[in-house]
Amino acid sequence: MIAAHPDDENTALLAYLARGRKVRTGYLSITRGEGGQNLIGAEQGDALGVIRTQELLAARRIDGAQQFFTRAIDFGFTKTPEETLEKWGREKILGDVVWVIRRFRPDVIILRFSGTPRDGHGQHQVSAILGKDAFAAAADPKRFPEQLQWVQPWQATRMMWNPGAFTKEQREEVEKMPNRISVDPGDYDPVLGHSYNEIAGMSRSMHRSQGMGAAERKGSAKDFLITQAGPVAAKDIFDGIDISWNRVPGGAAVGNVLAEAARSFDAEHPDRIVPLLLKAQNAMVALHQPLPAGKQKELSDAIALCAGLWLDATADKYAVTPGGALKFDATALNRDHLAVQVKSIEIDGIAPATTKDKFGDVLPFNEPKVFTLTATVPEHQALSQPYWLVEPKQGDTYTIPNQLDVGLAENPPLFNAHFHLRIESEDVEVVRPVEYRYIERAQGELTRPVVVEPPVSLQWSKPAMLFPQGAAKTAELQVRANIPKAAGEVRIQPPAGWRASATSEKFQLADSGEQSVLSFQLTPPTGDAQGLLAASAKVGGQTVSTEMETINYPHIPPQVLYPPATAKLVRADVRLLPKTIGYVMGAGDEVPQALQQLGADVMLLSAGDLASGNLSRFDAIVTGVRAYNVRSDLRANQNRLLEYVKNGGTLLVQYNVAEGGNPFGGDTSLLANIGPYPITTGRDRVTVEEAPVQFLNPASPLLHQPNEITAHDFDGWIQERGLYFASKWDDHYQPLFETHDPGEKPQTGSTLYMRYGKGAYVFTALSWFRELPAGVPGAFRIFANLLSAGKT
């Protein structure tokens, strides 16, 4: 199945194919969904892509499919396939789709989209356009010949379109399409105890950063598939395709043994078919040819399961530094009565592991046997950065030097334990990833991947530093030890024209986990300027120039990434009138830290503050992104906030999601009351970050005080202009700006302003949550004027 984003996939169809039909099923998401909004935290961009990657893997563990990606980056919403193909490079991403097809070798390719404007999002259209091209190109040895040193050309038999049919009109449209077959993921599976559609609901609910929690729907729910290329399927998706062992030359022998094993399987006594499975393993080897992907591993896993074996490999810590040592526990537990010996265990990806344990004894019944191994990680071992983030990006694609990494969902496990077993009289190899296993009191037993981390990690206290008045400011760099007795020297490199009080400083940390903060006084050049401040630390023979970001959510394993240790420095004249600002955090954003850079005191407002605190001490109050969606205490205290405005305060409301798009439920009708007079939140957005902006009311004080705003202040914005603009509003409001995507009708609902009582109210759905943390100077100047509205 091919589509563009995490959540585009038809999870029900994946579950039906993988769990119901038991065929190898894969989802190729062209992107990792980096450009969307994050509903569970403040991560954006690279970090959001890592979260969505893990959410897809969590979903696949439930529905049973595999996961693939290309190098393309989700650069945000776009309406046209042309913009998408231009940003990605058509040949580059087509090559990746072809590569994944040649490696996975599907019989049937299912497109989720049509490749026409019916699909909406330009990236959706492109997923189908490239999918159609790749169906033929993957089979053509003249296309992407450089791939053929690793893979063979592959002609899938059939390409089908699985159209989304969410409305009555769409369903009627689909039911009239020719060459259409149906499948029913609503079928109940008595072995699993669920229908595939119920499994789909569980799987889809892993997309938490998108608020995709889904019902586990019961009963019939048909899906339609329309043949697009290859022989038309009359009844079934695999019509005319042999999906048995007979397609492998000589494979019938294997198929017959496995069929006999399936027939004689007794769930109370699974060990009784182990001899047949061992026979099937020998028959596979006797074929003397490459086996269908994954079959050997499936069989050895099935043998271990039927033999009642539990095989597990853990490390004594979740992180190790280059040159550091690891202790591994490899556990074998025989919970059945077959004669099983562990002949040897190797750990790959590391210098040969040593052990004092003796191998070869028959495992005792139901008593864990632990083998302890130790090994040292090489001095030059690379850090465990997600492979697609190791090299700098090229525009809107990742740079992946090793072709064999292309398509992989995540880094393979750092280490694998290979258990060489003898079961009865046959040899079997079972491979297990080495993980770190731990107990979290609130959640129980958890595992996380083992990673390589640097001896120290660096962290600038602010990713972007604004110098609004030209005065010197202190930049703080946190140095954190990941090993005991970490000592060395930090060097910083300010951009040209900036002066630093010092460019190096020594540090000494006693314990792992200890940190110290080094301060550097920075003086900006005169006049507007921007640049990157870099830091590196020398510890022993190693140089560290990265920060370390750990992403931790309950639905995915902890993830670590290593962004460069740089901070953006911005010198721009920005004046702000309010001194104290209250902030009502919504779903999560980094606007408060950005506002502190303007010299304001920013305080996060709790439910108690909103209900009974003294609001009049704030010069301005700002609501965070989607705050009205996620905070019932904010909705409940709206009258107090309006009273605050009446008495002279300034209230600034950022975007909220309109009805139908409110993932948290809640009473969306209250969204009509986010201002003193009615405002209807719409779905309009402007996705082109360079889209021109007109000033609708050039005399408005918001454009002149305290900062003089010009068209240049809309230069250098990132990703988009804004989203969820107001679609309708009362005449009391004055729209400030007009901006729209190329070829679209003018939009004036991005920012609304009115005086109310002695104060001012501003609704603004421009993307401040992206622009301010990124240090876009014009965004700071405009936002400062909006915050100053009550005082101008």
Q: Which is nearer to Zn ion, 212 or 762 (CB)?
A: 212
Which residues, 683 to 742, sit near Zn ion by CB under 5 A?
none
CA proximity to 2, closest of 74, 122, 94, 110: 110
Q: Which is nearer to Zn ion, 693 or 723 (CB)?
A: 723
Q: Which is nearer to Zn ion, 5 or 143 (CB)?
A: 5
**3-state percent helix, strand, coil for the chain, nearest multiple of 5:** 25, 30, 45
How does strand 559-561 pair with strand 549-551?
Answer: antiparallel
Distance between CA atoms of residues 769 and 21, nearest Å: 45
Q: Of 2-10, 283-291, 389-397, 530-538, which segment contacts Zn ion by CB under 5 A? A: 2-10
Nearest-approach distance from CB 355 to Zn ion, in angstroms: 49
Phi-psi region of 266 (alpha: psi -120 to 50; beta: other; left: phi over 0): beta
Give me the residues paired with residue 435 across strands. Answer: 314, 449
Residue 788 per-residue DSSP state: T
Task: Name, in order, each residue with C-beta under 8 angstroms of 69's C-beta and a sequence gap of 6 or more.
Answer: 28, 29, 30, 31, 32, 53, 388, 407, 408, 409
Identify the three-state secondary structure at position 54: helix
Task: Name, in order, each residue with C-beta under 8 angstroms of 493's C-beta and a sequence gap of 6 or more.
Answer: 503, 533, 534, 535
Q: Which is nearer to Zn ion, 74 or 589 (CB)?
A: 74
Q: Which is nearer to Zn ion, 128 or 779 (CB)?
A: 128
Distance between CA atoms of residues 305 and 322, nearest Å: 36
Nearest-approach distance from CB 722 to Zn ion, in angstroms: 20
Nearest-approach distance from CB 123 to Zn ion, in angstroms: 7
Q: Which is nearer to Zn ion, 5 or 462 (CB)?
A: 5
* Tokens 């042309």 belong to residue: 82
| 5 contacts Zn ion (rule: CB under 5 A) | yes
Nearest-approach distance from CB 120 to Zn ion, in angstroms: 8
Nearest-approach distance from CB 181 to Zn ion, in angstroms: 25
Nearest-approach distance from CB 79 to Zn ion, in angstroms: 13
Which residues, 235 to 254, sit near Zn ion by CB under 5 A?
none
Q: Of 4-12, 221-229, 528-536, 701-709, which segment contacts Zn ion by CB under 5 A? A: 4-12
Phi-psi region of 720 (alpha: psi -120 to 50; beta: other; left: phi over 0): beta
For residue 10, the Cα-to-chain-centroid distance in whole angstroms is 18
Q: Which is nearer to Zn ion, 87 or 631 (CB)?
A: 87
For residue 11, the Cα-to-chain-centroid distance in whole angstroms is 17
* Residue 357 · residue 443 · CB < 8 Å: no
Q: Of 1-9, 143-151, 335-343, 509-517, which segment contacts Zn ion by CB under 5 A? A: 1-9
Q: Which is nearer to Zn ion, 119 or 590 (CB)?
A: 119
Q: Which is nearer to Zn ion, 35 or 230 (CB)?
A: 35
Nearest-approach distance from CB 121 to Zn ion, in angstroms: 6
| 158 contacts Zn ion (rule: CB under 5 A) | no
Q: Of 3-11, 334-342, 343-351, 635-643, which segment contacts Zn ion by CB under 5 A? A: 3-11
Q: Which is nearer to Zn ion, 8 or 55 (CB)?
A: 8
How many CB atoms within 10 Å of residue 177?
Answer: 11
Give me the residues paired with residue 371 across strands. Answer: 330
Helices (H) and strands (E) in the chain, counts: 17, 41
CA proximity to 10, closest of 226, 208, 165, 194: 165
Q: Which is nearer to Zn ion, 4 or 309 (CB)?
A: 4
* Residue 465 · residue 570 · CB < 8 Å: yes
Q: Of 6-14, 243-251, 526-534, 626-634, which segment contacts Zn ion by CB under 5 A? A: 6-14
CA dihedral of 627, 630, 633, 636, whole degrees rounded to 10? 80
Residue ranges with strand state E in 407-503:
416-423, 426-440, 444-449, 451-452, 456-460, 464-467, 473-481, 486-493, 499-500
Q: Which is nearer to Zn ion, 109 or 128 (CB)?
A: 128
How many CB atoms within 10 Å of residue 422?
Answer: 15
Q: What angle do CA 350, 354, 358 make, to 5 degrees?
A: 135
Q: Which is nearer to Zn ion, 49 or 308 (CB)?
A: 49
Total residues binding Zn ion (CB under 5 A): 3
Nearest-approach distance from CB 457 to Zn ion, in angstroms: 34
Q: Which is nearer to Zn ion, 8 or 619 (CB)?
A: 8
Distance between CA atoms of residues 252 and 182, nearest Å: 30
| 52 contacts Zn ion (rule: CB under 5 A) | no
Q: Of 5-13, 200-208, 514-522, 536-544, which segment contacts Zn ion by CB under 5 A? A: 5-13
Q: Of 7-15, 385-393, 418-426, 587-595, which segment contacts Zn ion by CB under 5 A? A: 7-15
Q: Which is nearer to Zn ion, 84 or 281 (CB)?
A: 84
Which residues, 254 to 293, sit near Zn ion by CB under 5 A?
none
Nearest-approach distance from CB 331 to Zn ion, in angstroms: 42
Site string for Zn ion, 111-140 (x = CB under 5 A): ------------------------------
| 8 contacts Zn ion (rule: CB under 5 A) | yes
DSSP codes of every residue in 119-179: G-SHHHHHHHHHHHHHHHHTT-TTSSGGGGGT------SEEEE-----SHHHHHHHHT-SS
Nearest-approach distance from CB 36 to Zn ion, in angstroms: 8
Q: What angle do CA 201, 205, 210 make, to 5 degrees?
A: 135
* Tokens 């040193």 belong to residue: 149
Nearest-approach distance from CB 671 to Zn ion, in angstroms: 24
Which residues, 496 to 515, sit near Zn ion by CB under 5 A?
none
Nearest-approach distance from CB 341 to Zn ion, in angstroms: 51
Nearest-approach distance from CB 5 to Zn ion, in angstroms: 3
Task: Name, in order, each residue with C-beta under 8 angstroms of 501's C-beta and a sequence gap of 6 or more.
Answer: 520, 521, 522
| 107 contacts Zn ion (rule: CB under 5 A) | no
Nearest-approach distance from CB 95 to Zn ion, in angstroms: 22
Nearest-approach distance from CB 4 to Zn ion, in angstroms: 5
Q: Which is nearer to Zn ion, 8 or 107 (CB)?
A: 8
Nearest-approach distance from CB 124 to Zn ion, in angstroms: 6
Q: Which is nearer to Zn ion, 210 or 668 (CB)?
A: 210
Nearest-approach distance from CB 336 to Zn ion, in angstroms: 47
Nearest-approach distance from CB 130 to Zn ion, in angstroms: 14
What are the structure tokens assigned to 647, written together? 């008495």
* Residue 650 · residue 788 · CB < 8 Å: yes
Query: Closest CB to Zn ion belongs to which residue?
Result: 5
Q: Which is nearer to Zn ion, 3 or 377 (CB)?
A: 3
Query: What is the sign, positive or negative, of the torsion defined by CA atoms of 190, 195, 200, 203?
Result: negative
Distance between CA atoms of residues 633 and 655, nearest Å: 17
Residue 393 per-residue DSSP state: P
Q: Of 8-16, 371-379, 633-641, 689-697, which segment contacts Zn ion by CB under 5 A? A: 8-16
Q: Is 689 exposed, middle or buried (0-12, 13-18, 19+ CB in 10 A)?
A: buried
* Residue 455 · residue 486 · CB < 8 Å: yes
Residues that bind Zn ion (CB under 5 A): 4-5, 8
